[in-house]
Amino acid sequence: MAEQEPTKLPTPSSCTADFCLVPIGTPTASVSKEVAEVQRLLKKSGVKYSMHSAGTTIGILRHNADA
């Protein structure tokens, strides 16, 4: 596979990503404080998102697809 310059890779006009928080090496399995902070950051960013029982899905739409 030929190496490509990351800045020259085509960028889709929209994308979706899903993530979840998993506590590792913590005394408790609770991540409620971290989830609340993620929600505050997402609201502040203006990114479209949906929180669900298995994590959070974010969707990004670039308005200037040619930029």
With a threshold of 0.85, does the pTM exceed it?
A: no
Q: Residue 15 phi/psi, 5° resolution?
A: -155, 160
Amino acid type, 37: E
pLDDT tens for residues 15-66? 899 999 888 888 888 889 989 999 999 999 988 999 999 999 998 776 654 4
- If one counts every other C-beta atom within 10 angstroms of the C-beta of residue 31, the result is 15
Would you list the domain boundaries of the chain?
14-22+32-67
Residue 62 CA to residue 53 CA, distance in Å, equals 27
